[in-house]
Amino acid sequence: MAATGTTTELGTRERLVRTASRLMQHGGYENTPVKQLVREAGATLGSLYHFFPGGKQELAVAAIHFGDEEFAALLRAGLTAHPDPAEAVEAVTGLLAEALEASDWLDGCPVTATALETVGRLPDLQAACARAFANWQELVAAKLLASGYPEEEARDLAITVVNTLEGAEMTSQVTRSRTPLLVAGRHLARLVASYRP
Amino acid sequence: MAATGTTTELGTRERLVRTASRLMQHGGYENTPVKQLVREAGATLGSLYHFFPGGKQELAVAAIHFGDEEFAALLRAGLTAHPDPAEAVEAVTGLLAEALEASDWLDGCPVTATALETVGRLPDLQAACARAFANWQELVAAKLLASGYPEEEARDLAITVVNTLEGAEMTSQVTRSRTPLLVAGRHLARLVASYRP
DNA sequence: CGCTGGATAGAGCGTTCGTTCTAGTCATTC
DNA sequence: GAATGACTAGAACGAACGCTCTATCCAGCG
């Protein structure tokens, strides 16, 4: 190899995190056996417990953070696509619908499934999921604030925007249809516009 | 016992279904071991496989249907509380927030967790979950239609109302706060009112 | 009374789970 | 070229999983 100073392709640790994020996106935490995980990541059990002494749970927290950032990137892409926040939010639903259908309705929200099954069971994971939701709300709120929305209305709208995206993404996934997401886009745009300063 | 002709308290089958619904509401399908299930239901493995030859999966489908009806009852209660659909929807979020906090943030939507973890894995369960969502949408749509909303707008609004309720319920659960649900109530009321015929 | 069949009861099956453990590889450093 | 330490490799373990199986109970009936 030429450049041995940096990672040539992707380090084992990174492959583990990304694979865990993808598998947990599909089936959540308990439905993701570590052996399948390391196999698909092209790693071994030894590597997993080398990088994550806390085991599956520590890896899962890292995977949730990765999914958090991944979703945030898509959110940023949609939000910056239009200056107007209402149009921007609707653009996000379009991006989500596209990505979801392209994955044969499998790649839903990378956090939701894990969030629901860890409530009251695995506090570390639940906290990581809560942080992700807060992070996404913050992105939406920033867009609204930058457009002149008053502080309180911006914060509240951001909560509902993210929640509706989550709910619509789930329903689109279960029913294998773009409709819930696209309808959510229209309604959120109308709602956001109705508060326009 | 006096009346031996009918079930004295609750039949074993019914206890299994209700217990399964409650446990799946908390942790989903895979997080609900059959042995814990029969123990909490006051039943045994023999009874489970007597009433549900299809095993855990068949019981889970029955449990989803039960949760479907249970949530539908709460939805009906909220929707009939006010003649105006906008106020009615907001009433629903109040009921949900109350029930959720009373359960120490554990009794979320009885279907969502299972829906997400069975996508693309257990078609029978996924179908049962999809049916529940459609059922709830139908209830909201009926309320809007009865209030004179045009057919298409009523259907689309019903989709978003249910999706937003789902998303807000999940976020309220994970963050242990009424806020997401109550904010969703205000926003949904505003959205529904904005379409008032 | 004995027979019958729905319902109950739980020990035990084979499998899979997350984790541990020992052995090994390989680039880097003295 | 021996030593070092980060990393790889996978066999093996105890626990827990869903499910099967045989035995038993008991109300209804001739």
pLDDT of A7 above 50? no
Contact in structure between A189 and B185 (CB atoms under 8 Å): no
CA dist B154 and B141 (Å) reads 5
pLDDT at A11: 85
Interchain contact, B31 vs A156, CB within 8 Å: no
| Amino acid residing at A141 | A
CA dist B177 and B182 (Å) reads 10
Band (A8; pLDDT cuts 50, 70, 90): very low
Domains of chain A: 63-194 (1.10.357.10)
Please report the sign of the dihedral spanned by the C-alpha atoms of residue A49, residue A53, residue A57, residue A60: negative
Contact in structure between B166 and B112 (CB atoms under 8 Å): yes
Which nucleotides of chain C have an atom under 7 angstroms from any protein CB? 6-12, 16-23, 27-28
Q: What is the pLDDT of residues A55-72, one digit of tens each?
A: 999 999 999 999 999 999
pLDDT of A5 above 90? no
Nearest-Cα residue of chain A relative to residue B31 = A30
Q: What is the pLDDT of residues A181-192, one digit of tens each?
A: 999 999 999 999
Å between B41 CA and nearest CA of chain A: 21
Please report the sign of the dihedral spanned by the C-alpha atoms of residue B94, residue B99, residue B104, residue B106: negative
Contact in structure between B64 and B72 (CB atoms under 8 Å): no
The DSSP annotation for A114-133 comes to HHHHHTTT-HHHHHHHHHHH
Higher-pLDDT residue of B1 and A84 is A84
Is A179 near chain B, with CB under 8 Å?
yes
Query: Can you tell me whether residue A172 is helix, strand or coil?
Result: helix
pLDDT of A85 above 90? yes
Interchain contact, A180 vs B163, CB within 8 Å: yes
pLDDT of A160 above 80? yes
| Amino acid residing at A61 | V
Q: Which nucleotide is closest, CA of B50 to its C1'?
A: C7
CA-to-C1' span, A71 to D3 (A): 46
Contact in structure between B113 and B27 (CB atoms under 8 Å): yes
Q: Give the E-state strand segments of chain A in sequence order.
A: none
Find where tokens 């958090």 sit. A68
Instruction: Mutate one of A64, A117, A131 to test the B interface: name it (highest B CB count within 10 A).
Output: A117
pLDDT at B47: 92
CA-to-C1' span, B44 to D23 (A): 15
Residue (of A159, A161, A152) closest to A190 by Cα position: A161
Contact in structure between A179 and B133 (CB atoms under 8 Å): no
Tokens of A27: 């089936």
Residue (of A155, A136, A133, A134) closest to A145 by Cα position: A155
The phi-psi region of residue B187 (left if phi > 0; otherwise alpha if psi is between -120 and 50; otherwise beta) is alpha
Å between B22 CA and nearest CA of chain A: 13
CA-to-C1' span, B33 to C17 (A): 13
How high does pLDDT run on average in chain A?
93
Is A124 near chain B, with CB under 8 Å?
no
pLDDT at B9: 66
pLDDT (tens place) for every residue of chain B, 197 residues total: 333 333 336 788 999 999 999 999 999 999 999 999 999 999 999 999 999 999 999 999 999 999 999 999 999 999 999 999 999 999 999 999 999 999 999 999 999 999 999 998 999 999 999 999 999 999 999 999 999 999 999 999 999 999 999 999 999 999 999 999 999 999 999 999 999 99
Write down which residues 88-147 in B have CB closer than 7 A to strand C: none
Residue (of A194, A95, A71) closest to A144 by Cα position: A194
pLDDT at A4: 30
Interchain contact, A187 vs B157, CB within 8 Å: yes
pLDDT of A3 above 60? no
CA dist B101 and B103 (Å) reads 5
- A57 CB contacts (<8 Å, ≥6 apart)? A122, A124, A125
Is B190 near chain A, with CB under 8 Å?
yes
Instruction: Mutate one of B22, B90, B96, B116 to test the A interface: name it (highest A CB count within 10 A).
Output: B116
Band (A9; pLDDT cuts 50, 70, 90): low
A164 closest CB neighbour out of B106, B163, B174:
B163
Query: Can you tell me whether residue B104 is helix, strand or coil?
Result: coil
CA dist B90 and B69 (Å) reads 20
* Contact map slice: B 61-100 vs A, CB within 8 A: none
Contact in structure between A163 and A100 (CB atoms under 8 Å): no
pLDDT at A143: 98
Q: What is the pLDDT of residues A94-144, one digit of tens each?
A: 999 999 999 999 999 999 999 999 999 999 999 999 999 999 999 999 999
